């Protein structure tokens, strides 16, 4: 007789299953709780593949693609289908590279063959055939040395070099049909579960694979091309390749050779060159630019960027003035409420738009204006004699969540405004098939800064992150193409530096905390990078905004 094991579902209902039952078979008993196929299980707060088996008494829950964890599994599994489809259509000598996140999907390029719209259609058709076959994702534990030998035979040097810097004795490979690959995270149970995706041909041997996301899990929305963000990604990628830094292993090589100082300087120079270009454009513009508006998602480096840009503009003879949007908050008792009945700090309606427009108009007319200061203790605006009057060469710099929203500056003509979207658009990838999400860089930055400046633990930041992301979708991303320029605040070396600060904070998340699976994912992600000391990071670096030691005072 098989041994029966008790399983508690979502902390309340208790069931019994035979020892050795797969989590897929257990999940089939709970389909009615989910709107989409179950993709992974949470067993005592650890994320596991559905192909794993029940071994002991446990608490259990599951994820479909409407959850952040399930959606990540879905995206990873879709990439594997894509890789197999490209091999089937174009042959073993052609490599698909997942480059970076783009509008609910990932931008991919093809190396070793010319890509056309017709080929993209064939790849999409082959992916659908693989889905119909319902191949199982089979996990195999192999020695790291054997994996290196295997990938050497396939001439997949990106994985060979990556595994060189990993200390694990054993690693997990996944297989679909007859194709093996190395991925950083769990896979779905079968290809039949990955039934929603779209491929959109872009240019230069590239396309975007769009997928359902947590806000629209029911279907795949059409891809929206943000050409300015895409071009910035493309430019940065080409620059990185000129330096010979494509993957985590390339950065690790530089660190192990004690040459990282040179690349820190190169990265800082690339970032600074973007601000110098903006100052030149404003100086040489035929427009009468009087207002610089800068916005981007959380932890993009807006504060440092606005202060450094001010220096570049002053070097051109301009006189700059910073106006903080926070000082235009409406009084707390007049603040709009969010869905939970609490004051909404994220909505543009939390700002006194009429006052902001009125004062900007007065300033641009040359009038002296008494600027407000928001008292966060009392929850109301105050006036403390902080006056401002603009001269001929004066420019106002405004950075904040809603700076790119035209509603905030309706009274100002377009010719007088210069809009900047900023984000750390990292081109660096773990290897050819495992890209790094831009949001992960921002998340690591935010965890470090929250710990240093607000006394928050990693658990607190991770708990807030879904709300932060929701605010960004509503207030930031939709404006990213309606700008004069995109600034990339990513630094090619920063993950190694952030690792030294953030890793201890992540290890402090308790195993029974709801945020533990995400903390563990980030810890495993950081294992792909060698630590980099912060000694060579200059005091005016955007990275200092997060790790401390910045020469710019708030």
Residue 368: count of CB within 10 angstroms of its CB: 10
DSSP 8-class letter at 196: -
**How many degrees, rounded to 5, is the angle at CA 299 between CA 295 and CA 303?**
60
Residue 482: both structure tokens together: 């309606």
Which domains, from first to last, does the chain contain?
Answer: 4-64 (3.10.20.30), 69-226 (3.30.980.10), 230-547 (3.40.50.300)
> Using CA atoms, how far apart are residues 92 and 107, in angstroms rounded to an integer?
21
What are φ and ψ of residue 135, in 5° steps?
Answer: -60, 145
Specify the pLDDT at position 345: 67
Strand ranges in 157-205 using DSSP code E only, listed in sequence order = 170-176, 179-181, 198-201
Tokens encoding 392: 């001929």
The CA-to-CA distance between both ends of the chain, in Å, stands at: 69
Residue 343: its pLDDT value, please?
A: 66
* Distance separating alpha carbons of residues 368 and 358, to the nearest angstrom: 12
Half-sphere exposure (Cβ direction) of 316: Cα atoms closer than 13 Å: 20
List Cβ neighbours of 247 (8 Å cut-off, separation of 6 or more). Answer: 158, 161, 162, 428, 429, 430, 431, 432
Cα 163 from Cα 145, distance rounded (Å):
8
Measured distance CA(21)–CA(429) in Å, rounded = 37
538: exposed, middle or buried (C-beta count within 10 Å: 0-12, 13-18, 19+)?
middle
> What is the H or E stretch that residue 145 is in?
helix 144-153
* Dihedral sign from CA coordinates of 11, 49, 46, 78: negative
Distances (CA, A) of 78 to 52, 112, 137, 140: 20, 22, 11, 19
Distance CA 93, CA 110 (A): 11
- Largest CA-CA distance found in the chain, in angstroms, rounded: 89
Question: Edge-to-edge strand order for the sheet containing 138-143?
Answer: 138-143, 170-176, 179-181
User: What pLDDT shows up at residue 503?
Assistant: 97
The pTM score is 0.93
Tens-digit pLDDT profile for the chain (554 aa)?
Answer: 578 999 999 988 899 999 999 999 999 999 999 999 999 999 999 999 999 999 999 999 999 999 999 999 999 999 999 999 999 999 989 999 998 888 889 999 999 999 999 999 999 999 999 999 999 999 999 999 999 999 999 999 999 999 999 888 999 999 999 999 999 899 999 999 999 999 999 977 799 999 999 999 999 999 988 889 999 999 999 999 999 999 999 999 999 999 999 999 999 999 999 999 999 999 999 999 999 999 999 999 999 999 999 999 999 999 999 998 889 988 887 777 777 667 666 778 889 999 999 999 999 999 999 999 999 888 889 999 899 999 999 999 999 888 999 888 988 999 999 999 999 999 899 999 999 998 999 999 999 999 999 899 999 999 999 988 888 888 888 888 899 999 999 999 999 999 999 999 999 999 999 999 999 999 999 999 999 999 999 999 999 999 999 998 76
- With H, G, I as helix, E, B as strand and everything else as coil, classify residue 174: strand
Question: Quick one: which of 451, 417, 164, 155 has its CA closest to 292?
Answer: 417
The token pair at 206 is: 């590239």
Q: Identify whether the C-beta of residue 47 lies closer than 8 Å to the C-beta of residue 71.
A: no
Question: What are the Cα distances from residue 447, in Å, to 101, 311, 500?
Answer: 21, 28, 12
CA dist., res. 23 & res. 17, Å (int): 10
Q: Give the Cα separation of 215 and 217 in Å (integer).
A: 6
Q: What 3 state SS string does 102-124 have?
A: CCCEEEEEEECCCCCHHHHHHHH
As beta bridge partners, residue 16 has 6
Contact yes or no for 228/485 (Cβ under 8 A): yes
Cα angle: 321, vertex 322, 327; to 5 degrees: 130
DSSP type of residue 13:
E
Cα–Cα distance, 48 to 70 (Å, whole number) = 11
Q: Which residue has tokens 């399930």?
A: 70
């Amino acid at each position: 007789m098989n041994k029966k094991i008790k399983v508690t579902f979502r902390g309340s209902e208790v069931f019994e299953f035979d020892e050795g039952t797969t989590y897929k078979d257990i999940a089939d008993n709970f389909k009615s709780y989910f709107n989409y196929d179950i993709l992974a299980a949470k067993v005592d707060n650890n994320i596991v593949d559905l192909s794993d088996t029940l071994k002991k008494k446990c608490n259990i829950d599951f994820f479909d693609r409407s959850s952040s964890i399930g959606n990540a599994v879905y995206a990873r599994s879709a990439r594997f289908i894509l890789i197999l489809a490209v091999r089937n259509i174009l042959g073993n000598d052609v490599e698909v590279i997942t480059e970076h996140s783009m509008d609910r999907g990932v931008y991919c390029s093809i190396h070793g063959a010319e890509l056309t719209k017709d080929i993209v259609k064939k790849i999409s058709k082959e992916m659908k055939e693989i889905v119909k076959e319902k191949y199982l994702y089979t996990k195999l534990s192999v020695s790291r040395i054997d994996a290196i030998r295997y990938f050497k035979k396939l001439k997949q040097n990106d994985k060979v070099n990556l595994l060189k810097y990993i200390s694990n004795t054993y690693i997990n490979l996944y297989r679909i049909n007859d194709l093996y690959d190395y991925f950083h995270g769990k896979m779905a149970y079968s290809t039949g579960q990955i039934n929603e995706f779209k491929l959109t041909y872009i240019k230069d041997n590239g396309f975007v694979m769009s997928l359902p996301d947590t806000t629209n899990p029911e279907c795949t929305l059409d891809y929206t091309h943000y050409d300015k963000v895409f071009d910035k990604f493309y430019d940065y990628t080409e620059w990185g390749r000129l330096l010979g830094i494509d993957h985590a292993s390339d950065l690790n090589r530089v660190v192990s050779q004690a040459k990282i100082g040179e690349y820190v300087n190169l990265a800082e120079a690339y970032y600074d060159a973007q601000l110098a270009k903006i100052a030149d454009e404003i100086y040489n513009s035929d427009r009468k630019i009087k207002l610089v508006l800068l916005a981007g998602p959380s932890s993009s480096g807006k504060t440092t960027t606005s202060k450094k840009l001010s220096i570049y503009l002053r070097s051109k003879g301009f006189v700059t003035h910073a106006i903080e949007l926070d000082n235009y908050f409406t009084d707390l008792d007049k603040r709009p409420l969010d869905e939970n009945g609490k004051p909404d700090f994220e909505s543009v309606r939390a700002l006194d738009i009429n006052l902001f427009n009125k004062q900007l108009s007065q300033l641009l007319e040359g009038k002296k204006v008494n600027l407000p200061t928001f008292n966060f203790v009392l929850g109301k605006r105050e006036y403390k004699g902080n006056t401002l009057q603009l001269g001929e060469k004066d420019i106002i710099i405004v950075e904040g969540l809603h700076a790119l929203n035209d509603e905030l500056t309706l009274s100002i003509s377009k010719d007088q405004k210069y809009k900047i979207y900023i984000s750390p658009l990292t081109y660096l990838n773990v290897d050819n098939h495992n890209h790094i999400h831009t949001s992960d860089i921002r998340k690591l930055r935010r965890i470090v800064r929250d710990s240093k400046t607000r006394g928050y633990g990693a658990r607190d930041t991770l708990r807030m992150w879904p709300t932060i992301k929701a605010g960004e979708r509503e207030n930031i991303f939709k404006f990213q193409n309606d700008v004069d320029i995109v600034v990339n605040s990513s630094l090619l070396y920063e993950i190694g530096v952030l690792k030294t600060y953030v890793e201890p904070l992540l290890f402090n998340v308790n195993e029974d905390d709801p945020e533990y699976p995400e903390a563990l994912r980030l810890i495993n992600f950081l294992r792909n990078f060698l630590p980099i000391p912060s000694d060579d990071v200059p005091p005016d670096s955007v990275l200092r905004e997060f790790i401390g030691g910045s020469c710019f005072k708030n």
